[in-house]
C-alpha cells in the first residue's frame, strides 16, 4: 500500500487520516500551494493519476523505468531527477515530480533523505517565497536534493586526500589501497547521475521560450543551475584526482616490480657467469682426478702447477670476455 504525505504552505502538514487521494483537491483548497508525496505507488495511485488527467507517458515512466526528463503535457509539467537513496549511498533513485495547478506531486519507490529536508524548509518559507507558488516548491525540492550532496562530496574529498597520502607515504604499504580508489570512483559516478540530472533539469527549465517556470522564480533556478554546475565540476575534479592517484599507485607498483626484476636479473647473471666459468674447470678437475694413468709429464710435480696455470688463464680469459660483452 502506498504511503501518502500531504503538506501545504498555508496549513502545514495534513494528517493522512484527514484526506484521500480522490479528495486531495478539497483537502488543500484555500490552503496555498500543496505538496503530495507518494512513497511506493500502487495500482490505486496509478488509477488516480489517470483520473486527474496525467499523461499516459508520464504514468508509464513512473511505473516503469523512469529516465531523467523535463516535459510539458496538457495541464501539467512532468520532471524526473535522481536523488540519493536513504538506504545506500551507492544508490541513486528516480524521483518523479508532477506540477499541476497549485499542487506538486512527488512519486518515488524508496526513502529519499532530501525530501525530509524539503519538508522542513517548506515549514519555514517566508511569505514572499510562498507567493511565487508551486514553482517555488519545485525549486526548494531540487535545491534540497542538490544540497544533500554537498556534505557527501566533502566526505569523498577527504577520502581522496587520505588515499593520496597513502600512495605517497613510503613508510609502509597500505592494504586495499587500489580497491579504495575504485570504490571512490564508483561513488562519484553514482553521485554524478543525480547531480547531472539536476543540471539538465535546470537547463531545460531555464531554456528561453519554453515557459516551463514563471518569471518570479527565474532567479531561484538560476542560482540552482550555478550550484549544480559547481557540484558537477567537483565530481569531475574528484574523479580525475582518483584516476590520477590510481595511475600513480600503479606506476609505483610497476617501478617496484621493475627494480625487483632488475635485482633478480643481476643475481641470475652473476650465477650464470660463475656457472660458465666453473663448468669447464670442474670438467678439467674431473678428468685429471680420474683413477687412471696420466701422461708421464703430468705425473711430475710440475704437472700440477701446469694444470693450475691453465685453469687460471682460462678463468681470466673468460672474465675478460664477459667484461668486454658488458655482462659484468
- pLDDT per residue over 162-172, tens digit each? 888 888 776 66
Give me the residue label for grid cell 547531480: 195
Residue 119 banded pLDDT, cuts 50, 70, 90: very high
pTM beyond 0.75: yes
**pLDDT more than 90, % of the chain:** 47
The closest of 219, 199, 35 to 129, measured between CA atoms, is 219
What's the average model confidence in pLDDT over 121-139? Answer: 92
The answer to whether 117 and 148 are in contact (CB under 8 A) is: yes
Q: How far apart, in whole angstroms, are the C-alpha atoms of residue 161 and residue 302?
A: 77
**CATH number of 264-324, picked from 3.30.1490.100, 1.20.58.340, 1.10.3720.10, 3.40.640.10:** 1.20.58.340
Superfamily of the domain at 3-255: CorA soluble domain-like (3.30.460.20)
- Residue ranges, comma separated, of all CATH 1.20.58.340 domains in the chain are 264-324
Check pLDDT > 80 for residue 319.
Answer: no
Q: What is the pLDDT of residues 293-306, one digit of tens each?
A: 555 555 555 555 66
- In the chain, where does the domain assigned CATH 3.30.460.20 lie? 3-255
Distance in angstroms (rounded) separating the CA atoms of residues 233 and 248: 22
Amino acid at each position: 500500500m502506498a504511503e501518502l504525505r500531504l503538506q501545504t504552505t498555508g496549513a502545514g502538514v495534513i494528517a493522512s487520516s484527514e484526506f484521500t487521494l480522490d479528495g486531495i483537491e478539497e483537502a488543500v483548497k484555500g490552503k496555498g500551494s500543496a505538496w503530495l508525496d507518494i512513497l511506493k505507488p500502487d495500482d490505486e495511485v496509478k488509477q488516480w493519476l489517470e483520473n486527474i488527467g496525467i499523461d499516459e507517458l508520464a504514468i508509464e515512466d513512473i511505473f516503469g523505468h523512469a529516465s531523467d526528463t523535463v516535459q510539458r503535457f496538457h495541464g501539467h509539467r512532468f520532471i524526473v531527477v535522481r536523488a540519493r537513496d536513504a538506504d545506500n549511498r551507492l544508490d541513486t533513485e528516480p524521483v518523479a515530480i508532477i506540477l499541476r495547478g497549485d499542487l506538486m506531486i512527488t512519486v518515488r519507490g524508496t526513502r529519499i533523505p532530501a525530501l525530509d529536508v524539503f519538508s522542513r524548509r517548506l515549514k519555514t518559507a517566508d511569505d514572499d517565497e510562498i507567493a511565487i507558488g508551486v514553482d517555488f516548491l519545485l525549486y526548494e525540492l531540487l535545491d534540497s536534493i542538490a544540497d544533500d550532496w554537498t556534505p557527501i562530496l566533502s566526505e569523498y574529498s577527504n577520502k581522496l586526500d587520505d588515499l593520496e597520502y597513502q600512495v605517497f607515504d613510503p613508510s609502509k604499504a597500505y592494504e586495499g589501497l587500489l580497491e579504495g580508489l575504485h570504490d571512490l570512483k564508483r561513488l562519484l559516478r553514482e553521485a554524478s547521475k543525480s547531480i547531472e540530472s539536476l543540471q539538465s533539469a535546470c537547463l531545460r527549465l531555464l531554456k528561453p521560450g519554453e515557459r516551463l517556470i514563471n518569471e518570479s522564480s527565474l532567479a531561484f533556478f538560476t542560482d540552482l543551475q550555478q550550484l549544480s554546475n559547481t557540484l558537477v565540476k567537483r565530481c569531475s575534479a574528484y574523479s580525475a584526482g582518483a584516476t590520477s592517484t590510481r595511475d600513480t599507485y600503479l606506476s609505483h607498483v610497476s617501478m617496484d616490480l621493475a627494480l625487483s626484476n632488475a635485482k633478480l636479473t643481476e643475481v641470475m647473471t652473476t650465477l650464470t657467469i660463475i656457472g660458465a666459468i666453473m663448468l669447464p674447470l670442474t670438467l678439467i678437475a674431473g678428468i685429471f682426478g680420474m683413477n687412471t694413468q696420466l701422461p708421464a709429464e703430468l705425473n711430475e710435480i710440475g704437472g700440477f702447477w701446469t694444470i693450475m696455470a691453465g685453469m687460471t688463464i682460462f678463468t681470466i680469459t673468460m672474465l675478460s670476455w664477459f667484461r668486454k660483452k658488458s655482462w659484468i
